[in-house]
Amino acid sequence: MLPRHLQLSGRVGRTDLPLYGASAQQHLLAGTHQNEQAGALTAYIRGHRVKAQVDYTHLSSDGQTAPGAHRVRAALQVGF
């Protein structure tokens, strides 16, 4: 976005949930796969020595009772 100051990133993923040994009912409730969408913004305050990052992740499943999850994280990295 701004050269050497801000970085925008994203991620999309999907994974199968094998649930080995689970019953048909457990498969129905948990689902067979999970989807992930994420985005992050990194601010380079003093290059890589001092930077701040905020990211958001949304997880969802195709199961009947498996809830979706929303996660927001913030981090500050300081190097010496």
Hey, what amino acid is at 66?
A
For residues 32 and 21, what is the distance between their CA atoms, to the nearest angstrom? Answer: 13
Are residues 32 and 17 in contact, defined by beta-carbon separation less than 8 angstroms? yes
Per-residue pLDDT of the chain (80 residues; tens, 9 = 90+): 567 789 999 999 988 877 788 888 877 777 778 889 999 999 999 888 999 999 999 988 876 666 788 999 999 999 87
**Is the pTM value of this prediction over 0.95?**
no
Work out the burial of residue 20: count CB atoms within 10 Å of its CB; fewer than 13 is exposed, 13-18 middle, 19 or more buried. Answer: exposed
